[in-house]
Structure 1
Amino acid sequence: MDMAQITDLFITGTGSEPMQSVTEVHAVADRGLRGDRYFNGTGYYSPYDVCQVTLIANEAIDAIDREFGFDLTAGEHRRNVVTEGIDVHDLLKHRFRVGDALLEGTRPRPPCAHVEQLNEQEGVARALKDGRGGICADVVESGRIGVGDSISDIEAMDKTASIIERLRSK
């Protein structure tokens, strides 16, 4: 992985408020990002569909702008962490370090109708499909996350292949 890093961070205190750009956040184990709507329990989908942290690739945001003409750079994508230099889907079922925090990629985060309602632009949800909507992650170890921090893949959570290899070598 070459220089994968964070280019932007966004949080908002409640579910339908605009995302606010911040330079750093504190990730809290088993809770999410301090000050964010899902940490506070005030997210639009709380308590039924909660992602502690959401990540989206800057490359996906650029592709959406080129293909659909939607500028989502001010957080209209409704994701917390904007990455550069990595396909965020490669972090699914992996533990990875972002700044001082350890996260675990849990599932894709497809777009929803709510993101389109807030943007008041028809087609935003469709533009975020096809793998451009990002992923969800859980906070495993608390720590500070800041713009410019690197992203380091630590380990795959699915150990099946390595277990099978060990059994075969016995």
Structure 2
Amino acid sequence: MPSVERIWTAPEGGAPMAASERVRAVEGGGLRGDRYCHGRGYYSPYDVCQVTLVDSGALETVRERYDIDLSDGRHRRNLVVDYDVVDLLDTRFSVGEAVFEGTRRRPPCARVEEVAGEDDLAEALGEERGGICADVVEGGEITVGDELEVVERLDDPDSLADAIRERRE
């Protein structure tokens, strides 16, 4: 079962990412202590992702192909998981006590190169390695090692019909 390998937050835009063993996801907000949850991110309020996720396999590819080690959080993503995060788009999924909806891709930009101090980082994180954005649908605690489980595919009409039926019962 896929799981959370690392948790990262930064108190404000440009601040170094800090690793945690546990964090609280805030419904409609993001991760407690993270820049975007508190409106202090570089792109606030115009291009906000409540929570960002990246595949650990993508980070390994960056290390192998570009010789850039991002194990210190310079990728600027909140949750590192051992799962192809692009498959979480248009999906409701749980991690620990929290429930998320994958909303869009989060391609890298020149800003990540500037903050990380790595030339070619935006290119290295390209080709679907940049991660995704997710909204917090239900808040709760997340801990390193928590399993990631797909709850519902939002782009599947049968899945949506089942969910609507269950809510009415």
TM-score range, shorter chain: over 0.9
1:42-88 deviation digits (Å, cap 9, x = unpaired): 0000000000000000000000000000000110000000001x211
For 1:29-108, list aligned pairs within 5 A: 29-84=27-82, 86-108=83-105
- The residue number in structure 2 matching 1:127 is 124
1:2-61 deviation digits (Å, cap 9, x = unpaired): x10000000010000000000011001100101100011000000000000000000000
User: What is the percentage of aligned positions where both structures have the same residue?
Assistant: 49
Per-residue deviation, 1:98: 0.3
Structure 1: tracts of 5 or more residues without a match: 165-170
Per-residue deviation, 1:158: 1.8
- The residue number in structure 2 matching 1:25 is 23
Instruction: Please give the alpha-carbon distance, in whole angstroms, between the structure 2 residues aligned to 1:39 and 1:161.
Output: 33
Per-residue deviation, 1:121: 1.5
- The residue number in structure 2 matching 1:142 is 139
Per-residue deviation, 1:102: 0.3
Instruction: Please give the alpha-carbon distance, in whole angstroms, between the structure 1 residues aligned to 2:156 and 2:108.
Output: 30
- The residue number in structure 1 matching 2:166 is none
- The residue number in structure 1 matching 2:165 is none
| SS of the residue 1:114 aligns to | helix
1:110-141 deviation digits (Å, cap 9, x = unpaired): 00111000112210011000000000000000
Structure 2: tracts of 5 or more residues without a match: 162-169
Instruction: Please give the alpha-carbon distance, in whole angstroms, between the structure 1 residues aligned to 2:132 and 2:14.
Output: 20
The TM-score normalised by the length of structure 1 is 0.92
| SS of the residue 1:97 aligns to | strand
Structure 1: 4+ residue segments shifted above 6 A: none
Aligned pairs, number: 161
The TM-score normalised by the length of structure 2 is 0.92
- Paired letter, 2:95: V
| SS of the residue 1:21 aligns to | strand
Instruction: Please give the alpha-carbon distance, in whole angstroms, between the structure 2 residues aligned to 1:100 and 1:161.
Output: 25
